[in-house]
Structure 1
Amino acid sequence: MGNIALLIIAIAFAVLVVFLVIVLHKVSKVVEEANRTVKLVSSDVDVLLHQADGIMTKANTLLDDVNGKVATIDPLFTAVADLSESVSDINASSRKLVTRLNRGSTKRKTTSASAVVLAKTAKKFFVKKDKTEAGVKVN
């Protein structure tokens, strides 16, 4: 009986060894594939980093160009802002003037009409006086 027990243990150990060899073989294939993938990814990453470096260089150049042009245009925007402020001030002043004129327009119309009637009457008076002094009698 002891020999059969040892035989069963030996067969179980042999099956375990065969199973471990198969598992280790598959693991080595996975590790090899992982190594190939890492090499491929690292070469692709190197290419991407090189291209990203070129893009960043071009972006910096473009940004410097834009900053230079903005600095050139900045006085124009300042002048436009000043002009806009001046136009707003003129509009406000003209509105105030129109408001003042509108408030006093009824008084001024009456005063203006009175002044016109007075001026016409004075003109008639002076014209008659001038003609009488010249020896011409006017009715």
Structure 2
Amino acid sequence: MTKLTLGSHPYMLGFEQLERLVERTSKSDLTGYPPFNIEQSGDNAYRITLAVAGFAEDDLSVTVEDRQLIIRGRQTDVEDERIFLHRGIAARQFQKAFVLADGVEVAGAAMENGLLHVDLNRTPPESIVKTVKINRK
């Protein structure tokens, strides 16, 4: 018995790109730093929340590149005369990437109490009915 993949199913045409996206995202690390939540905040709205304690707004960037939401954080090391007896707060850079479906757009981003909220809205596709004329050859 042959295993059918999404791109090779006979009734699903043109979904090869979706199969590549699923393969690419399955290789990404969902448990890494920083921790995050994804919630549905409405029928067509989502919110991604990252715990970014210690990061200032200037240390963070939120961009959309080729249908991917990319959130980066980079803290600038302040050279001062502090002597740490214990340093448990990570000051490391990070990058999180989320693949966005067609019609999903970033509505905005906000910082609140050490959390970065990125709001997304999905525009439902219009239902289109098209009649195709059959030509005689």
TM-score by length of 2: 0.17
Structure number with bigger Rg: 1
Report 1 or 2 for greater relative contact order, CA contacts < 8 Å, sequence distance ≥ 6: 2
- Please state which structure has a larger fraction of its residues in helix: 1
- Please state which structure has a larger fraction of its residues in strand: 2
